[in-house]
Amino acid sequence: MKHFLNTQDWSRPDLDALLAQAAVFKREKLSGAMKGRAIALVFFNPSMRTRTSFEIGAFQLGGHAVVLQPGKDAWPIEFDLGTVMDGEAEEHIAEVARVLARYVDLIGVRAFPKFVDWAQDREDKVLRAFARYSTVPVINMETITHPCQELAHALALQEHFGTTDLRGKKFVLTWTYHPKPLNTAVANSALTIATRMGMDVTLLCPTPDYVLDERYLGWAQANVAESGGSFAISHDIESAYRGADVVYAKSWGALPYFGNWGPEKPIRDQYRHFIVDEAKMALTNDGVFSHCLPLRRNVKATDAVMDSPRCIAIHEAENRLHVQKAVMTALLR
């Protein structure tokens, strides 16, 4: 049984087929591909776009989405094996996943890191536990990666450049400031899909402490080896932006300070100037700007950048609907 946990688990032709199907759904929104079928959307963290786009997507395909929020309007869940469950959790993922899989045809899971211990969080335990026990396909709705966002972004770039072949484009993934130490999921994902599509990718971040986890650096290198693009890390804003075709921004906390965020805050506060603004965008090759949203205006990117016609973030957000319909349809086959 195939899950959709990471794009890296899927072959390039299969990813291309998802993107092609998404483009079809964008032109023709109603279909019976999910008639009478259902998806459970399990949210351990808040959501606006993901929840709305999955729920509407299922509806447009003739299906139905049930939204569950464990620990809020459902029971808190245990994920470890062999535990004597005398704490807060009222039930084990083994039962949750098995039972849900009897009711629905697909299970989507959003589970952000707990931000205490990266060694723990990087195991993606919640998502993997659902995939282990569920007897129906599981979809990653953002954990430590965000593969649905990857596809939405790739589709937006294909639309912008008018071609499915993104090779040769200069892609800058830039860190931006945010008052909180955010999840690296979308950064990991942007790096993964940009290298997968064969672009020339620069990861721009303030210092080596802000470089991403080695797993994703490894994926990037493997992708470059296979696809013929390139991958470099830079801490210099000007050279990174110069000639860029795509600027993708995301904020995240430095991994060496994971769970011990106090000392990282004053360091991070020194790099507010990583904000995406018109001066930086002027260095690019008439590049487009995007971001996964939600975005804090005038902190991560200026109003001028967000309101510019070169900002494709709204198109990318819309594409979540189309690519997720493609993912659900592919998994239900």
Q: What is the DSSP letter of 154?
A: H
CA–centroid distance for 3 within its chain:
16
Q: State yes or no: residue 285 binds a copy of itself (CB under 8 A).
A: no
Question: Residues in contact with a copy of itself, total (CB under 8 A)?
Answer: 62
Q: State yes or no: residue 286 binds a copy of itself (CB under 8 A).
A: no
Read off the amino acid at residue 94: A
| Cβ(239)–Cβ(162) below 8 Å | no
| Cβ(19)–Cβ(155) below 8 Å | yes
**Closest of 257, 270, 269 to residue 115, by C-alpha:** 257
Q: State yes or no: residue 28 binds a copy of itself (CB under 8 A).
A: no
Smallest gap from Cβ 303 to a copy of itself, in A, equals: 6
Rounded Cα–Cα distance for residues 126 and 138 (Å): 11
The nearer residue to a copy of itself, 221 or 298, going by C-beta atoms, is 298
**Closest of 331, 273, 260 to residue 106, by C-alpha:** 331
Is 175 labeled as ligand-binding? no
Smallest gap from Cβ 201 to a copy of itself, in A, equals: 25
* 108 phi/psi in degrees, rounded to 5: -100, 140
Rounded Cα–Cα distance for residues 150 and 298 (Å): 24
Smallest gap from Cβ 299 to a copy of itself, in A, equals: 5
Q: State yes or no: residue 260 binds a copy of itself (CB under 8 A).
A: no
Smallest gap from Cβ 320 to a copy of itself, in A, equals: 8
The nearer residue to a copy of itself, 192 or 319, going by C-beta atoms, is 319
Q: State yes or no: residue 293 binds a copy of itself (CB under 8 A).
A: yes
Smallest gap from Cβ 222 to a copy of itself, in A, equals: 33
Q: State yes or no: residue 164 binds a copy of itself (CB under 8 A).
A: no
Is 49 labeled as ligand-binding? yes
Looking at the chain, list the stretches that DSSP marks H as alpha helix, in order from N- to C-terminal side. Answer: 12-27, 49-60, 93-103, 118-121, 125-133, 147-161, 185-196, 214-227, 237-241, 264-269, 278-282, 303-306, 313-332
Beta-carbon count within 10 A of 254 CB: 21
**Contacts to a copy of itself from residues 38-97, by CB under 8 A:** 38, 40, 43, 46-49, 51-53, 55-56, 59-60, 64, 66, 68-70, 72-75, 78, 81-86, 89-92, 94-96
Q: State yes or no: residue 128 binds a copy of itself (CB under 8 A).
A: no
CA–centroid distance for 168 within its chain:
23
Interface residues toward a copy of itself, by CB under 8 A = 29-30, 36, 38, 40, 43, 46-49, 51-53, 55-56, 59-60, 64, 66, 68-70, 72-75, 78, 81-86, 89-92, 94-96, 98-100, 102-104, 179, 293-299, 303, 306-307, 313-314, 317-318, 321
Binding region for N(2)-acetyl-L-ornithine? 142, 250, 293
